[in-house]
Amino acid sequence: MFNEELLTALPGIQSTSSFEDGGEWLTVYTTDWLHLAKKLRKHPDLLFDYLFCLTCVDWKTHLTMVYHLSSTVHRHNIVVKSKLDRDNPEIESVSHIWKTAEFHEREVFELFGVNFLHHPDLRNLILPEDWERYPLRKDYEDPVNMIKL
Amino acid sequence: MLEEIRTTEQDDLVINVGPQHPSTHGVLHLVITLNGETIKKVEPHLGYVHRSIEKMCESLTYRQFILTTSRMDYLSAHINNHCCVLCVEKGLQLDVPPRAQVIRILMDELTRIASHVLWWGAFAMDLGAITPFFHAFREREVINDIMEETCGTRLTMNYMMPGGVMYDLHPNFQKRVHEFIKLFKSKLPEYHELVTNNVIFQERTKGVGMLSYEDAISYGCSGPAARGSGVSSDIRKLYPYEIYNQLQFEECLEYGCDSFARYQVRMNEMMQSLSIVEQLIDNIPEGDIQAKTKAVIKLPKGEFYSRVESARGEFGVYIVSEGGTTPYRIKFRSPGFSNLSALDQMARGQKIGDLVAMMGSLDLVIPDIDR
């Protein structure tokens, strides 16, 4: 039910996004993400103002950005996913829409190598500045600091 | 570092607080840009205790990975473990016996009191009062002893497991919790007398570290940091888990938006947690403490997210499963990470001397932020 409400509230998005089973998942093309994010934040029936989790998953063939959003007004949740190219991952930053995204995107940038376009300050946050390669990718091997058990 | 200095104006002073600094409660490194005594920018540098727990968990089984979360937010280990087992149970669609549910909530709330008590002592110490620290540790010790009897450890409990809890309660548990309730009720007025009603303390926290309602939401704040700005964010009320929806307690909201409001939220929360413990301690149902699970847990293919209210805010676990015995990807949403991102907003335009009060009121636990 919620999906249908959402679809009618987001004209122009249906053609490029698809709902998956389970109800609360929404997949969107990378190019539409910024447009959708603004809609999700501003539309009076949606008002997703609380970004509580932002992360990335490495699927070996591609990366997937995962955004967990909720609304403090309507108390509903949604998860938006976007598929990224693994060799050249790029997506628009949403740090000007949800300010917490600035930190979360920096974390994803250093651990997965995702380039967030128009991010105000994209630098390493947790890792040292000269760290090479991306630790949370599946093909990452570190012979010195072994973490595989 | 050099670049940072260049980008600031000529009269600005850039100073480093930490990574080794008594008021950061761990190894947090803040680069502060000052104009005279006024803060222009606060930039946290993280990662001094980064252990890549998320990567480690990818090669640990669903029983093992829970143990790593005790090492993240070491002051509310039970609650972190709780979130992990909830996520695994969600994947397995497992029903937990009522006795285990009640035990879990009792442990969670005792942990919350212990965590808030320690924060209270540390916060007062940040502001220059040494005595409250000893008061706080005296009461926390009692909870640690209770935990030690039942769980075997005092800090990293690892007591929860998918399907229930590891062992049954110690025979002394109820008696000792009753003793603690009595003790704590007699001590809490002392806390207010010592710190809350202290004029110096109030002067140093009121109007310091303002975080507006909108900013608290936008920065993803949760827990007392958000509730001090009037944002209703108690997961126990909004998305009840276990039997929280059958319990009588209130969400503590304050509307001051300053450090003092966040202080009051935590002080009130201790009373609420104590009331939850009181409601349950004499009503622990009889029965099993574990549901039947296989020795090796395999989660079905899919993605699972669970959230709980930890002592610092919303703690979340996001598991991506490929159907194997280990998670494909795991993400811990730690409350401190988001709360810390709001520090810059709070501190801008304020005096450097107040920075410690702001940091203290956020209740940062660094291993929880770095993971």
Residue ranges covered by each domain of chain B: 51-370
Range of the domain at A70: 2-117
Between chains, do A50 and B220 touch, taking CB under 8 Å as contact?
yes
Say if the ipTM goes beyond 0.85: no
List the structure tokens of B12.
């600005």
Q: Which two tokens stand for residue A59?
A: 């699927």
Per the listing, tokens 């603690």 go with B180
Nearest CA among B332, B369, B354 for reference residue B127: B354
Q: What is the 3-state secondary structure (H, E, C) of A80-138?
A: EEEEEECCCCEEECCCCCCCCHHHHHHHHHHHHCCEEECCCCCCCCCCCCCCCCCCCCC
- Hey, what are B53's tokens? 């727990």
Q: Which of B217, B328, B341 minimises the CB distance to A103?
A: B341
Q: Rounded to a whole number, what is the largest CA-CA distance in chain B?
A: 70
Per the structure, the count of domains in chain A is 1
Other CB atoms within 10 A of residue B52 CB: 19
Please give, rounded to a whole number of angstroms, the shortest distance from the CA of B187 to a CA of chain A: 36
Domain membership flag for residue A141? no
What are B336's strand-pairing partners?
Answer: none
Predicted local distance difference test score (pLDDT) of residue A137:
84
Q: Is the peptide bond before B19 cis (omega within 30 degrees of 0)?
A: yes
- Asked if residue A145 belongs to a domain, the reply is no
**Using CB atoms and an 8 Å cut-off, which of residues 78-97 of chain A contact chain B?**
79
| Burial group, residue A138, by CB count within 10 angstroms (0-12, 13-18, 19+) | exposed
Q: Give a yes or no: residue A68 inside a domain.
A: yes
Is residue A11 pLDDT above 70, yes or no?
A: no
pLDDT in tens, A37-96: 787 788 777 788 888 888 888 888 888 888 888 888 877 777 877 888 888 888 888 888
Residue A24 lies in a domain: yes
pLDDT per position as a tens digit, A13-40: 544 444 444 445 666 666 677 777 787 7
**A68, A100, A135 ranked by CB distance to B218: nearest:** A100
B318: which chain A residues are within 8 Å (Cβ-Cβ)? Answer: 53, 55, 66, 68
Residue of A nearest to B335 (CA): A52
Per-residue pLDDT for chain B (371 aa), expressed as one digit of tens each? 444 544 556 678 888 887 776 666 778 888 888 888 888 888 888 888 888 888 888 888 888 888 888 888 888 888 999 999 988 888 888 888 888 889 989 999 999 999 999 999 888 888 888 888 898 888 889 989 998 888 888 888 888 888 888 888 888 888 999 999 999 999 888 888 888 888 888 888 888 888 888 888 889 898 898 888 888 888 888 888 888 888 888 888 888 888 899 998 999 999 999 999 988 888 888 888 888 888 888 888 888 888 899 888 889 898 888 888 888 889 998 888 888 888 888 888 888 888 888 888 888 888 888 88
For residue A142, tell me if it sits in a domain. no
Residue at A27 is within a domain: yes
* CATH (one of 1.10.645.10, 3.30.200.20, 3.30.1490.20, 2.60.120.10) for B51-370: 1.10.645.10
Q: Report the residue of chain B nearest A63, measured CA to CA.
A: B329
Å between A50 CA and nearest CA of chain B? 6
Residue B36: which region, alpha, beta or left (left: phi > 0; alpha: psi -120 to 50)?
Answer: left
- What sign results for the dihedral spanned by CA atoms A104, A22, B53, B100? positive
A11 in contact with B, Cβ within 8 Å: no
Q: Which position has the token pair 């699972």?
A: B304
Please indicate whether, in this complex, the C-beta atoms of A103 and B338 are within 8 angstroms of each other.
yes
Q: Is residue A139 part of a domain?
A: no
Over residues A97-125, mean pLDDT:
87
- Nearest-CA distance B369 → chain A (Å): 10
Nearest CA in chain B to A139: B55
**CA-CA distance, B289 to B291, in Å (whole number)?**
7
Query: Which residues of chain A are within 8 Å of residue B28 when distances are taken between CB atoms?
Result: none
Cβ-count burial B328-349 (b if 16+ within 10 Å, e if not): bbbbbbbbbbbbbbbbbbbbee
**CATH number, residue A91:** 3.30.460.80
For residue A47, is it within any domain? yes
